[in-house]
Structure 1
Amino acid sequence: MVDPFIYHNPTKVYFGNDALSHLHEELPRWGKNALLIYGGGSIRENGIYDTIVEEIRKAGISAYEISGVKPNPEMPLARQGARFCRERGIDLVIAAGGGSVIDTAKVIAGSALYDGDPWDLVKSRAQISHALPIMAIPTMAATGSEMNSCAVITNPDTHEKLGWTTEALRPRVSFLSPKNTFTVPPAQTAYGSADILSHILEVYLNRAEGFDAVDGFMESMMRSVIRWAPLAMEDGFHEEARTNLLWDSEWAINDLIDRGHSVSWTCHALEHELSAFFPIPHGLGLAILTPAFMEYVLNEETAPRLARFAVRVMGVKEGKNEIKTARKGIRKLRKFFTKSLYLPGRLSEIGLDDALFEDMAAHAMAWKSTDGILHGFYPLTEEDFVAIYKKAL
């Protein structure tokens, strides 16, 4: 039987090309003194920034802004933002950008009411009861952070990239406009699509009993990403492709598909250390590590699930030998990443070697386990983590 659970996702979502036109309606309901957070300035170039500023003006509230969020967000900017909120009496945080921007906004909103170092809250997995309200305006399909209660952030001083999950971090309102993703470059589209696939696979690869309908939903979403991602890369203005990818990204990680059993998030644990030690995109790391992980854990116990993935998602013909079928599916997945998304298939292709693998594995295990074993799709030790990194090399 599935484990007992509560499902509650109160994020209000406006979806459609006119979604952002409703921002001025929602702003006064949540605050009067907002902080707008964004990244490197692309929203100024594509017109999204001007639209947001006009919506803020129409709402009649005041607003400040902080920019410069990095692709792998870091604590110094989050500390600066939290301090700014306290000093200026900010009562609402608006995030406009990708998952890194939204995650930074979450850490700022969650720590603005705390006088200490925000890293204390992240490191301790603090279950806070209050945070500043968050509104999210995603500009790419990837993390789904605009509809969930998790933030991932890096402490560059300690080489730790950790997730902080607490219900207070869930955005109150999110504005999802496919047209706001039209100008995302092909490489970023590929990284985001790999992230979406990984979010689903991390849940799907589970030997615990689940819901048949949810399994089918996950398979359908993965097929959707595989279908639409290459088209969005080929033509950024392909509205059907952008629309499907954006909605896939939400349901991949908004607490629906993972209800009823625990999820170990093994590949994410491995990748978080990879991009904590090296400046590589999160989605790229996942695209390289995921097939290596699947190959490493393939055995008689895991073969049924991996073979089902091969048949129902990757289109492999069902055979009598589940291990052989599973291997074909893993090969097709790696080929999708390398030939359809044009991503490197090995860590060595992006200039990495094995010098830090043991340190990375130790960091990952220390965060994910208290007994030295990560109990997931297949039990793994710190030595297994090192072996997976090497398999991906």
Structure 2
Amino acid sequence: MENFDFYAPTKMLFGKGKAVCLPEEMRPFGNRVLMVYGGGSIKKNGIYDTVCGILKDSGFQFWELGGVTPNPKIETVRAGIAMAREHQADMILAVGGGSTVDCGKVIAAGYFYEGDAWDVVKDPSLIAGALPVFTVLTMAATGSEMNPTAVITNQAVHEKQGVHSSHLYPRASVLDPTYLYTLPAIQTAAGVADIMSHIFEGYFKKTEDAYVQDKFSEGILKTCIKWGPVALTEPENYSARANIMWAASMALNGLCGCGKEGKWSCHAIQHQLGAYYDITHGVGLAVITPAWMRYILSENTVGKFVDYAINVWGFPRQPDEFALANMGIDATEQFFVDCGLPVTLSELGIDDSLFEVMAKAAVPYAQLDTQAYVPLHEQDVVNIYRACL
């Protein structure tokens, strides 16, 4: 196990009705709030009215920035920074899923930066501080409610870029599982795929003796496999929503990946798809992940895939390790299919015309040729894309 620092300072307010506790956490920072949210679903399901009512009753002044889209755009961040400065906001309240939280985080960081907001996305060392960020989560997927990372898209230059800074940790996050009841099935399924991918990226690493982290990871994967289908068939099953919601936070708060070296592969490959085709992140990961697994399966990696097949999917050990490894991979792909997710790029209307362009960007983006679990060069990434058609 490698040396590591584990730091997860976000206060998690978990459970039904916990949004009423938010003002107590926010009040020490002032009373002027920029509330950031997405396309309007929170107005249909009542969450908007609940949050606004809590803010009004607690004496907060607040202004609204709506319209945050999946794969949040740098233009929205810029608009949010301008609005926050105009109203001298004391803090950001992001009400929504990971895209909304990510947008809110970069607004918070860009507030104190005099240049263009894209600068801090490209170079997080420029982030010297940020407005306090609070979140009310309405989707379980990215873990952004408990980590210092955001992902922003700049369509003008076809880049989807992750930014990481200790200044981006939310101060407190409300996780009310009932807020997930009205999610469309595809968003629930994509969220589960995203959670699982976060675990895969840390689970499949070169470090071999991080036993505790791997057991955490296997447990979270089994949670997704158990409760994801229940959430899809019984949208108002509290146990399903609660377990998936907490799994999302635990998957990407550093707990499962600490002490394990190496860069992420599938996210780097998928981010290029998102930069050009604006597809849902979890959907893209559901397509990429099984193809990547099959591509990197070798004598060097088969042992880890055997562990995965046995400990996560429950397959009995057998002499043919490669057959067992492929059973685990096939089960992963079938799980995504059963959840209603596409598993080919063709289903998303994507052809091979940009594979070389995307591969050229993906490799340096995450140092895939030197830092990945299995090093990948441009042709390798192209081959993975082709295997997804």
Question: What's the TM-score once normalised by structure 2's chain length?
Answer: 0.98
The change in CA–CA distance for 1:167 and 1:210 in structure 2 (over 3 A counts) is farther
- How far apart are the structure 2 equivalents of 1:219 and 1:60? 45
**Counterpart in the other structure of 1:199:** 198
- How far apart are the structure 1 equivalents of 2:240 and 2:60? 35
Shift of 1:279: 2.4
Question: Do the aligned partners of 1:307 and 1:326 also contact (CA within 8 Å) in 2?
Answer: yes
- How far apart are the structure 2 equivalents of 1:147 and 1:127? 22
Shift of 1:352: 1.1
Shift of 1:335: 0.6
**Counterpart in the other structure of 2:374:** 378
State the one-letter code of the partner of 2:195. Answer: I
Q: For structure 1, which runs of at least 5 residues remain unmatched after alignment?
A: none
- Write the mapping of 1:110-149 to structure 2, written as runs, cut at 5 A: 110-126=109-125, 128-149=127-148
Shift of 1:127: 5.4
**Which residue of 335, 349, 352 corresponds with 1:351?**
349
Q: Secondary structure at the match of 2:142?
A: coil
**Counterpart in the other structure of 1:176:** 175
1:25-80 Cα distance to aligned partner (Å, 9 max, x none): 22212222110000011111111111111111122121101000011111000011
Question: Do the aligned partners of 1:310 and 1:329 also contact (CA within 8 Å) in 2?
Answer: yes
Shift of 1:240: 0.7
State the one-letter code of the partner of 1:277. Answer: Y
Question: Do the aligned partners of 2:206 and 2:261 also contact (CA within 8 Å) in 1?
Answer: no
1:354-375 Cα distance to aligned partner (Å, 9 max, x none): 1001111111123222xx7142
Question: Do the aligned partners of 2:124 and 2:163 also contact (CA within 8 Å) in 1?
Answer: yes
- How far apart are the structure 1 equivalents of 2:126 and 2:378? 28
1:311-355 Cα distance to aligned partner (Å, 9 max, x none): 1112222112222110111011101101x2011121112211110
- Write the mapping of 1:60-79 to structure 2, written as runs, cut at 5 A: 60-79=59-78
Identity level (%)? 42
Shift of 1:213: 2.1
Question: Do the aligned partners of 1:128 and 1:166 also contact (CA within 8 Å) in 2?
Answer: yes
State the one-letter code of the partner of 1:349. Answer: E
Question: Do the aligned partners of 1:263 and 1:376 also contact (CA within 8 Å) in 2?
Answer: yes
- How far apart are the structure 2 equivalents of 1:122 and 1:31? 27
Q: For structure 2, which runs of at least 5 residues remain unmatched after alignment?
A: none
Question: Do the aligned partners of 2:180 and 2:241 also contact (CA within 8 Å) in 1?
Answer: yes
- Write the mapping of 1:109-258 to structure 2, written as runs, cut at 5 A: 109-126=108-125, 128-258=127-257
- How far apart are the structure 2 equivalents of 1:262 and 1:69? 33
- How far apart are the structure 1 equivalents of 2:261 and 2:29? 33
Question: Do the aligned partners of 2:140 and 2:191 also contact (CA within 8 Å) in 1?
Answer: yes
Q: Secondary structure at the match of 1:126?
A: helix
Question: Do the aligned partners of 1:181 and 1:242 also contact (CA within 8 Å) in 2?
Answer: yes
Question: Do the aligned partners of 1:25 and 1:59 also contact (CA within 8 Å) in 2?
Answer: no
Q: Report which stretch shifted further, 127-136 or 158-167.
A: 127-136
- How far apart are the structure 1 equivalents of 2:371 and 2:60? 49
1:309 aligns with 2:308: yes
1:199-248 Cα distance to aligned partner (Å, 9 max, x none): 00110011213421221111011011011111101111011100100000
Question: Do the aligned partners of 1:310 and 1:328 also contact (CA within 8 Å) in 2?
Answer: yes
- How far apart are the structure 2 equivalents of 1:197 and 1:210? 21
Shift of 1:87: 2.1
Shift of 1:86: 1.8
- How far apart are the structure 2 equivalents of 1:133 and 1:60? 18
Question: Do the aligned partners of 1:222 and 1:313 also contact (CA within 8 Å) in 2?
Answer: yes
Shift of 1:391: 0.9
**Counterpart in the other structure of 1:7:** 6
State the one-letter code of the partner of 2:379. Answer: E
Alignment coverage as a number of residue pairs: 389
Q: Secondary structure at the match of 1:380?
A: coil
- How far apart are the structure 2 equivalents of 1:80 and 1:115? 14
Coordinate RMSD, CA, aligned: 1.1
Runs of 4+ in 1 over 6 A off after TM superposition: none
Question: Do the aligned partners of 1:79 and 1:118 also contact (CA within 8 Å) in 2?
Answer: yes
- How far apart are the structure 2 equivalents of 1:214 and 1:109? 31
Question: What's the TM-score once normalised by structure 1's chain length?
Answer: 0.97
**Counterpart in the other structure of 1:361:** 359
- How far apart are the structure 2 equivalents of 1:306 and 1:127? 40
